[in-house]
Chain A
Amino acid sequence: MVKKTSWRYSQVPKEYQSCGGIDLGNGVLIWKNKWQPVAYFDSVRFTSYCDEGNPVYSSLKRNRLSFPYSKALQRDWHTFITSGNDRGPFKYSIYAIIMSFTTNFVITLFLTVIVFITIRQKPHRGASNLLKLGSTLASVNLAIFISKALKVLHQDHIYKGVVSTERVLDLLWMDLTFTCLDLLVVLICQLCQVQIIMRLFSRVKEKRTVFLVGVTLSIISQVLWAIPTLAQSINDNFSGLSYDADGLTLLSPFVYLFRIALAASYACIICFNMFNKRHLCFLYQRMMILTLLALIIVLLQPGFFVADVANIWVDDLSEIFNTTCYVGSAVIVWEWVDHILILERKVQAQSVLGRPVYEDDQEDYHFAKYALKVQDAISRDSETGEIGSRNDTANSGTEEQRVRWQYGDDTPPRDTNKVEFNEPQPLKNVILEKCSRIWDGMIYYTDHFIVKGLVIKTLSIHSKSSSDDHRKRKAKVRRRIGLDRPNEVYVYATRDVVFDSDEDEAESNQGSSVDEERDFP
């Protein structure tokens, strides 16, 4: 048997009498073959069929004519299922294992269907596609695994008459297809979790930090996980390769704990946000159910760690549970965050102040750039209609260009009169330039995800039943966020409001009463 938990001592198997052989004595008449149906033996020794040193017992349908089991065998079987070993009790049997496999498969399939039906494409197109890919891969992976497991069990039943849990667990740890697809699925789900956390933060700089830290940790955890897992799988599948078991024994539990630590951190962040936005979480019944579901699913993985520490059975199946936990914690929490953000925006739309704008948004002139982009598109449209005003538009074009340079949208033109020499730059400058380029590239890639979040296009669009409805909603949203009046871009700043004092008010009242007296003598 191949066990992934190579860092744990497996329990020493008991020695069963029926597996070692039972002396039945002499004088026994048994059927030997058709030419000699009955024979006399001096000394008969019976050895029962055992599975990895453990007794087996037929679970097939029995009737009156079936041979009875020997008392020694029945006694061994009773000891096997009642003593607290790793394989005997019912929870370690094939039924419980098949049930957990199929349940996980059904849950993952269900989550995949949910992803395709309810998760919106906009405004996070890349992340929703990633989520769809991850859940589909997980479903396919589990479907392949279950069909392989059933095939193995079918063959065992035909050739041995035994349905063994060991073979299925061996398949779980040794199958390279399952391992590779699982690696991919978990990485995708972890990236989706990073996206979810990014959505929970409003400031651009915080989103960048979450993205960089989250992606780095996800990749590190998956690379570290792949080393012992793939090494063991490859060693089991291709004999003759060198395999440093001792070195990998230490890495395997470290990665396991690292993953648990990441999952616990993710659960903490989600729980903290749930607590912060509790007035939205329990606004109505459906939201309450979704919140509870999200809470349970994010706590499942740390919960499984506790269960694993207490019970090795869970550890053997951890990979199957892991896949479902990761897909669930990405899909359901994504849906929860979607609902929370929609509710939050609704509250903001109804409030006097509207959506909060942070200093991070203003620092990189996002709003100015956005206004210029809108204006650019509109002026381009108007330019095509106006033929006679080419000079004017050219002038205004240069003005707009200058503004764009000012805000870093385009690169400014080079000074043509400047003489440049090809002097070799000092190494320090070259390194700094390269580093700043890498940094700029990373920030650009991060902003690719973030800018969409800044310009929210949709507020409460969930179903796309008809194009008319969609258009109406789009027009409504455009009107609400001011896109129907692109020429009127306002910049506000805080200002002290000075209220008139009571005396002034009294004076003005007196003044107005005098006026009234004058008007109505």
Chain B
Amino acid sequence: MPSKSRSVIFVLLTLALIFQIFPTISIPVVDRIYLSTYNGRKFGVFGWCTAKSSECTSPRIGYEILPLNGTTEVASLFLPSRAKRSISKLLIVHPISLFFTFVLWTLALALNMHNFGQSRKILAGAVLWSLLTVLLSLLSFLVDILLFVPYLAWPGWLVLVSTVFIAVASSMMCIIRRAVSLRKYEKLRNRDNVELVPLRFSNVNSNSSKPTASEGVSDTQESAAWQHVAPDQPELVHRAV
């Protein structure tokens, strides 16, 4: 049964994934979703359309200036922020970010399963992947801001919310990694209950050292090492839990 925090991570990442889908499927893929509307034009990730006649450019990376519906376009007035048209190619970070979020979502799904959820390597990988995802998601939002401010529509602001959700999920994954790591360590070490071990190296005499055999020692190599350096009067006390 998945823990509560893992379920929260999954829910957060699901929401983040949905929020990132909206800008990616914006105009010209879906007519009603757009990143910005300015000067009679509606902008999406893969193109733009005219506001009145809904005539759109073909889906591609970067905007192309076409005289749609008989209108003439002035390059410097094309985007709200006076950014050059070629900068719109940076909107490619939206689908990349969506891909990263999707992979993170599948990792979160895997973490809810018993087999993968206890693996420290998968957890560490998920944390690292989430860092990249946060960075890319933030980058997508910054690109939107740079191109469309002050006319950014709600799908653009959803990317900011998505970034915050991924960041929170990333922090929670980090906490889970710590917990799993501690649990594994305790499982490994807590078979013995070592009470007190004073080490006196200066009194070490190999001839007189008496090895203190103990029951239930898990790490034999380690115990052997401690036995070699034990003092004349053994003070190593092992108690089986």
Contact = CB atoms under 8 A, between A and B. Distances in A.
Contact of A213 (B131, B190, B229): B131
Given A489-B198, A493-B194, A257 B185 contact: no
Contact of B206 (A8, A209, A359, A396): A396
A493 B199 contact: no
B143 interface: yes
Nearest to B141: A261
Interface string B161-196: 000000100010010001001100110011011111
Contacts of A382: 202
B225 A407 contact: yes
Interface stretch (B23-31, B34-42, B44-52, B74-82): B74-82
B84 A8 contact: yes
Contacts of B82: 8-9, 11
Interface in B190-236: 190, 192-202, 204-207, 209, 221-222, 224-225, 228-229
A204 B193 CA distance: 25
B206 A395 contact: yes
B66 to A, nearest CB: 19
B90 interface: yes
Contacts of A272: 171
Interface in A13-57: none
A343 B209 CA distance: 44
A9 B181 CA distance: 53
A489 B199 contact: yes
A484 interface: no
Interface SS of chain B: helix
B167 A490 contact: no
B195 A493 contact: yes
Interface in A228-258: 246, 249-250, 253-254, 257-258
Interface residues of A, number: 57
A491 interface: yes
Given A7-B84, A265-B138, A492-B196, A396 B90 contact: no
A396 B86 contact: no
A379 to B, nearest CB: 6
Contact of B76 (A9, A398, A488, A493): A9
Identify which of A268, A382, A395, A396 gathers the most chain B CB atoms within 10 Å of its CB: A396
A213 B201 contact: no
Nearest to A6: B84
B134 A490 contact: no
B8 interface: no
A191 B196 CA distance: 42
Contacts of A261: 135, 138-139, 142
Interface in B101-139: 124, 127-128, 131, 134-135, 138-139
A194 B228 CA distance: 42
B11 interface: no
A74 interface: no
A344 interface: no
B207 A395 contact: yes
Nearest to A213: B131
Given A254-B90, A492-B196, A487 B128 contact: no
Nearest to A257: B142
B207 A8 contact: no
Interface residues of B, number: 55
A47 to B, nearest CB: 28
Given A257-B139, A359-B181, A495 B131 contact: no
Contacts of A203: 178
A265 B174 CA distance: 16
Interface string A399-427: 11011001100000000000000000000
A362 interface: yes
A362 B205 contact: no
A269 to B, nearest CB: 10
B68 interface: no
Contacts of A491: 194, 196-197
Contacts of B146: 253, 257, 309
B197 A399 contact: no
A406 B206 contact: no
A494 B190 CA distance: 8
B145 A250 contact: no
B100 to A, nearest CB: 14
B60 interface: no
A305 B198 CA distance: 59
Nearest to A206: B174
Nearest to A398: B206
Nearest to B224: A406
Interface in A355-396: 358-360, 362-363, 371, 375, 378-379, 382, 392, 395-396
Given A253-B90, A261-B139, A265-B135, A309 B193 contact: no
B201 A375 contact: yes
A264 interface: yes
Contacts of A8: 81-84
Nearest to B231: A487
Contacts of B206: 395-396, 398-399
Contacts of B149: 309-310
Given A9-B84, A359-B182, A402-B228, A490 B193 contact: no
Contact of A399 (B89, B171, B194, B229): B229
A75 B224 CA distance: 95
B228 A379 contact: no
Q: Which interface residue of A12, A261, A382, A487 has the most chain B CB atoms within 10 A? A: A261
A400 B201 contact: yes
B74 to A, nearest CB: 10
A371 B226 CA distance: 13
B201 A250 contact: no
A260 interface: yes
A488 B222 CA distance: 19
Contacts of A7: 83-84, 86-87
A165 to B, nearest CB: 20
Contacts of B127: 209
A219 to B, nearest CB: 15
A213 B134 CA distance: 13
A400 B82 CA distance: 72
17 contacts: A9-B75, A9-B83, A12-B76, A209-B128, A253-B146, A257-B143, A261-B142, A272-B171, A359-B185, A379-B201, A395-B206, A399-B206, A399-B228, A400-B201, A487-B198, A487-B200, A493-B193
Going nearest first, the 7 A-B pairs with the smallest beta carbon separation are A359-B185, A9-B76, A406-B225, A375-B201, A396-B204, A257-B142, A395-B206
Given A257-B143, A488-B198, 7 more contacts: A8-B84, A310-B149, A359-B181, A400-B201, A493-B189, A493-B190, A494-B190
